[in-house]
Structure 1
């Protein structure tokens, strides 16, 4: 691929032995050990990463604490806003290079990232830049005797541990960097060992934007080592984590040591409900991409597709036909819709669910094969649809994290609502109908952090996103997220 940003990315990859970013400098891990990371589209070695462990996390947290208590604490809201704006300018200028690194790292199709993802990421950064000047307490009337003035102040919580997933690292980091920089906190970021390159490159841009040393540190490594050490660290005040529900439970346990604040975006098995009165010309592609975007590797993927029985046959036929128009292939090719899964381990996991789906009686109507030929070296899987699935089957209950859809029939609005809520998860949901009464009934009744009506996957930074039940808690975006990086204190002044 011939372009200036491809050349810059190649230069970044020319030194494949990436280090830790601590206190504004690139440093080796304390042990000198390294991790291999592979290109999922070819299965070939892409780079090696420093294997950060407890000692490295200790050093990074100490750096962030020094920055929090030092020069960074003197930055005014206007100065923090200006720094975020400078970073946003550099992020936009280098977005194509960052996206290429992300595509090489985790297999997302480049073209799907260059267009809407660029706008979404930039809008997110700019939202937090605006919030830097929007932080304040209030004066409060009291009933105390004498002349006492009372007010509330808001202050940054301190050091934040940000644990980033591999399925969308560029966007995910913005929901840590944004509120950290806006509120005056500092951060230690632990990217996934399977997709760290774009995060490391972002660290370079933060330095270029003028960020003081220690405000943001990056420690690569395994979740069981660096991630666990960060979650349990006694000098970390807040942890923001996106990942599996199982790991989320471990982070909750680890947070008890110093009562860390937590924001957890965990697993999902989201319902996407299609009524007979829906506009199928919009619903079919909307539902399909609600499952298959990013090769199904999205926490809020609408993998449980509930279809009103009277249109089930037509919908399944149209959904299958649409899925066969999607090109699975090289993520750098301009016409690719779906790239590979992140790793051989994830591919094997998803394939095992396809076997389970067949064994439990699901009707395979599309896909179901690993792709070979020119794609044999990568971890490619056809978009897959099972029909006549029951809500109790394994493929309808467990998060697969791959391009696998389960179509489940229903008869009434009440049936749809009961089926949608019959899960331990509650991350997101979709409803397709032209009846406003039906839409509002489902919007109020579905137990999920987000309800999309006649659309799927839209996220705005001012509105935000969060989970319910075992899909986690805390909010990403909106004023609620800013408040999560601040604590409130009451001030009483006796002026009499």
Structure 2
């Protein structure tokens, strides 16, 4: 794929965006970004330190009074300007995402970059209708609840859906009057840097948005423990989320976590089996399986189980694997060598534990000697005690289990430490709703329903706390003040 980087953008890859300008890091330290598809170097970024975080937080603190005091209409106006620039540079952004994380270009255009645009539009609309001062008292005893910006927000985003997570956090934070210090994933930081440049171009005041590249130890931890940072919004693995919570606890700041998932897709025999199994398997493999809410566990009613296994295996075999720059419906490489090795190890574990491999398996697809390409893989006869039924693999691997009764389906679905998303497929809508109410998860999709941009995104148990999107995502960045009298 031709590089999407303009000379001007490429020139800032070694810099951080602090106090309205692209600045050099305080200390030497770099990381090469490597192509997921051919393992060649794409570019080199600087890796930040606590000194860079301190500079960014200081800039955010200096900007906070003026920014939070601006009329809401002015903040919305700047977000609308950002929306226009985002739209103008949409193709550049999509190609950057495809290049940095290996997403197929059509997926990058139609989903990855699109989610950022959707969040921008949705929050702009919501901000214009949000009541920042609610009257809850009576005429005799007036009381008002004020919703005020919480302050400086530390935002840490992942590599798998970089624009979705960045815009779901940054837009509401800026919109309500907070200032931001952001650390994107060091594996896919370029799209975030491109949006930082868009923010500069839109004319946001210096210090309102700041970006420091680096890893968790060098940049993430200093953000989390900084006394002046009022809240942390983090998306990533459950293990990293636990570390974020521990580090942030000493300064009693708010922590919002969107973590891992092992989402069940419950399929009853009364549904259109061919359609729902193919759709479910394809959703598992989408983005090369690198989505926290992917339906990676398919639970099928016993009478339809054998047929479902055959359909899922066929869908895996027909799932094309190709280079990210190629147009069309296919999956690309995994993001890194480490991720590829993890997926391969868990496929091997599934085989060793006795699950029946019906499609895919270890190794790369034919024709791919370089790059982090994995095969779309399906296991049948999986048991809940197996690692592939419990661990978030984050690769194109589907685990299928049978169930006998509605009670059985709910028990198996809830038998995991995660609780992010679930799907229920049944012609009996009353049954589907009944099952949905009993699932320990933050989101349920019935019969293929799509999630709307205003629906809250988040989970139960080890899938995190707090919510993104809609009014719930806006409130995460607001403090509550009760005024009586």
- Given the alignment, which residue of 287, 308, 311 partners 1:315? 308
What is the Cα deviation at residue 389 of structure 1? 0.8
Alignment partner, residue 211 of structure 1? 204
CA distance in 2 between counterparts of 1:117 and 1:197 reads 14
Q: How does 1:84-99 map to 2 (within 5 A)?
A: 84-99=79-94
Listed one character per residue, the Cα deviations across residues 90-109 of structure 1 (whole Å, up to 9, x for unaligned) are: 11111111111111111111
CA distance in 1 between counterparts of 2:280 and 2:365 reads 27
2:68/2:176 contact within 8 Å kept: no
- Given the alignment, which residue of 456, 460, 467 partners 2:452? 460
Residue 378 of structure 2 aligns to a residue whose secondary structure is strand
Alignment partner, residue 286 of structure 2? 293
Listed one character per residue, the Cα deviations across residues 351-387 of structure 1 (whole Å, up to 9, x for unaligned) are: 0111111111011111113326653221000100011
Alignment partner, residue 18 of structure 1? 14
1:449/1:467 contact within 8 Å kept: yes
CA distance in 2 between counterparts of 1:150 and 1:464 reads 28
| Aligned: 1:417 with 2:410 | yes
- Given the alignment, which residue of 31, 38, 52 partners 1:35? 31
Q: How many residues align?
A: 484
- Given the alignment, which residue of 72, 79, 102 partners 2:97? 102
Change (3 A) 1:244 1:117: closer
CA distance in 2 between counterparts of 1:82 and 1:282 reads 44
- Given the alignment, which residue of 60, 76, 80 partners 1:81? 76
What is the Cα deviation at residue 139 of structure 1? 2.7
- Given the alignment, which residue of 330, 333, 336 partners 1:343? 336
What is the Cα deviation at residue 438 of structure 1? 1.6
Change (3 A) 1:256 1:16: closer
- Given the alignment, which residue of 51, 55, 61 partners 2:51? 55
- Given the alignment, which residue of 214, 217, 220 partners 2:213? 220
CA distance in 2 between counterparts of 1:262 and 1:460 reads 25
What is the Cα deviation at residue 159 of structure 1? 0.5
1:131/1:182 contact within 8 Å kept: no
CA distance in 1 between counterparts of 2:39 and 2:59 reads 36
Change (3 A) 1:241 1:270: same
- Given the alignment, which residue of 257, 264, 270 partners 1:264? 257
Gap runs ≥5 in structure 1:
none
CA distance in 2 between counterparts of 1:209 and 1:382 reads 42
1:41/1:375 contact within 8 Å kept: no
What is the Cα deviation at residue 142 of structure 1? 5.8
What is the Cα deviation at residue 431 of structure 1? 0.9
What is the Cα deviation at residue 25 of structure 1? 1.0
Residue 430 of structure 1 aligns to a residue whose secondary structure is strand
CA distance in 1 between counterparts of 2:466 and 2:443 reads 13
Alignment partner, residue 333 of structure 1? 326
Considering only aligned residues, what root-mean-square deviation do their CA atoms show, in Å? 1.8
What is the Cα deviation at residue 324 of structure 1? 1.6
Change (3 A) 1:48 1:148: same
Listed one character per residue, the Cα deviations across residues 63-117 of structure 1 (whole Å, up to 9, x for unaligned) are: 1111112x32332111111111111111111111111111111111110221244
CA distance in 2 between counterparts of 1:76 and 1:20 reads 29
2:148/2:479 contact within 8 Å kept: yes
Change (3 A) 1:430 1:465: same
Alignment partner, residue 479 of structure 1? 471
| Aligned: 1:253 with 2:249 | no
CA distance in 2 between counterparts of 1:365 and 1:350 reads 17
2:265/2:423 contact within 8 Å kept: yes
Listed one character per residue, the Cα deviations across residues 244-296 of structure 1 (whole Å, up to 9, x for unaligned) are: 11111111111212211111011111111111111123202221122111111
What is the Cα deviation at residue 491 of structure 1? 2.4
CA distance in 1 between counterparts of 2:276 and 2:52 reads 49
Q: TM-score, normalised by structure 1?
A: 0.94
Q: How does 1:32-431 map to 2 (within 5 A)?
A: 32-69=28-65, 71-133=66-128, 134-141=130-137, 149-371=142-364, 374-431=367-424
1:306/1:409 contact within 8 Å kept: yes
Gap runs ≥5 in structure 2:
none
Q: TM-score, normalised by structure 2?
A: 0.96
Residue 465 of structure 1 aligns to a residue whose secondary structure is coil
What is the Cα deviation at residue 341 of structure 1? 0.5
2:112/2:163 contact within 8 Å kept: no
CA distance in 1 between counterparts of 2:165 and 2:108 reads 13
What is the Cα deviation at residue 169 of structure 1? 0.5
Residue 372 of structure 2 aligns to a residue whose secondary structure is coil
